[in-house]
Amino acid sequence: MDFLKGNKEDFLNFLNSINDENVAVLTHTDLDGISSAIFLNEILKEKGIECSYLNFLSLDKGLFSNVWGELIENNIEKIFVCDISADADLEDFEKLRKEFDVFLIDHHPFDGELESWKNVVKAGSDDCAGLMVYELGEELFDREKWRWLLDAVIIADFSFKKKENLEKLKENYSEINEENIFESISGILVKKIDANLTYFEKDLRKVYDMVYNKEFDKLEETYLIIQKEIDSFINKFEEDAEFFPEKNLYIYYFKPKFKISSTLSTLISLKYKTKSLIFIVEDTKDENYLKMSARNQNASEDMNKLLKKGIEGLEDANAGGHAAASGARIMKKDLDEFKKNLLS
Ligand SMILES: [Mn+2]
């Protein structure tokens, strides 16, 4: 793999600089983040180093400040940051680097400022962070034992779009291509893990442990729960959605237990390709708001324009997107007004 910045030597030097300091791993909330942390943990173990603190961060403002207290409590001195773009909050990252000895392994696009930084390995977007760690530590852990996870993360992060990485998958799946990739054994595993990431979004450590310990039966259990919820809303769609024939439009307001709305809107819109569809759920971050996604697979009507018409004159509302798929957010109290606008 070609790194855009930093190299294996930088990684090994940092690793070798660890004596008896407490080490933390901060990683992203997706399978790429999880597998980076697992490979890294295997490498640390081989070096006789224990990871004292592990956490999963989403790319929000203040992401590092949020765990600052725990880093201090655990007497952390050395930190690996994986699959997290420093410019999610550059100032916060600078603060972290001032206080701790930090090594960054990431593949998100970066701006020039990182050029002068030490202890950074960056790859292009199409090489996932899991693959980066796997290769950085290649001489240091039992890579064959973890090959199944490497295949999974290449699929999950769409790193197979790069020819070299698709070739890697072909070593185990000679017939694999972009169309059938999610039906391969690794592809199916990715779907199961993704369902668990949705289900346990507040306790990702659980998913990390299940993947680390290869508890595939448990992963499957949750997958079936999520699948069941998706299926039940698909089945209830015809009955529960409002249909407005004059606009050829369905409005489906539903209350899922889990974050399934984007998967659901895609699946239903593929069944109703000639219709306009608006899916509405409550905003889990603020119950006073509704989030909606509009779909029209044939783009026979412009969903972006439709939603913009819907939010006209509404307080604190926004909408935007493409003709075939668009999104909006409004205040819950304005739902009737929104519908009136749509149908006028
Ligand atoms: Mn990633």
Q: Domain residue spans in the chain?
A: 3-216, 241-343
**Angstrom distances, CA of residue 245 to CA of 23, 98, 124, 343:** 61, 61, 48, 10
Residue 286 Cα, ligand 1 centroid: separation in angstroms? 27
CA of 99 to the centre of ligand 1 (A): 25
Q: How far is the CA of 15 from the centre of ligand 1 (A)?
A: 22
User: What pLDDT sits at residue 262?
Assistant: 80
Instruction: State in Å: Cα 107 to ligand 1 middle.
Output: 7
Instruction: Profile the chain (344 residues) by mean pLDDT over runs of 10 residues.
Output: 93 97 97 97 97 94 96 98 88 95 92 78 94 96 96 94 94 89 92 93 96 97 94 96 96 93 86 94 94 91 95 95 90 97 94
Separation of CA 83 and ligand 1 centre (Å): 5
Instruction: Please tell me the predicted confidence (pLDDT) of residue 225.
Output: 95
Residue-level pLDDT at 151: 97
Q: Are domains 3-216 and 241-343 of this chain identical in fold? A: no
Residues lining ion ligand 1 (Cβ < 5 A) are 32, 83, 129
Q: Quote the pLDDT of residue 178.
A: 83
Which residue from 253, 299, 309 is spatially nearest to 276, judged by alpha carbons?
299
pLDDT for the residue numbered 60 = 85
Q: How far is the CA of 239 from the centre of ligand 1 (A)?
A: 39
Alpha-carbon distances of 207 from 25, 202, 220, 258, 330, rounded to whole Å: 16, 10, 12, 16, 33
Q: 132 C-alpha to center of ligand 1: Å?
A: 10
User: Side chain identity at 46, as an amino acid letter?
Assistant: E
Q: How many other CB atoms are found less than 10 A from the CB of residue 121?
A: 22
Please tell me the distance between residue 123's alpha carbon and the centre of ligand 1 in angstroms. 11
CB 249 within 8 A of CB 243: yes
Question: Which pair of tokens denotes residue 53?
Answer: 């603190």
CA dist., res. 303 & res. 319, Å (int): 10
Instruction: State the distance from the centre of ligand 1 to the C-alpha of 128, rounded, in angstroms.
Output: 5
pTM given for the model? 0.81
Cα(182) to centroid(ligand 1), Å: 18
User: Tokens 């929000």 sit at which residue?
Assistant: 60
At 111 the pLDDT is 67
For every residue of 185-203, DSSP letters joined together read HHHHHHHHHHHHHHHTTT-
Specify the CATH number of the domain 241-343: 3.10.310.40
Q: How far is CA 186 from the centre of its chain?
A: 17
Gap from CA of 235 to ligand 1 centroid (Å): 34
Q: Indicate the fold that domain 3-216 takes in CATH.
A: Rossmann fold (3.40.50)
Gap from CA of 302 to ligand 1 centroid (Å): 32
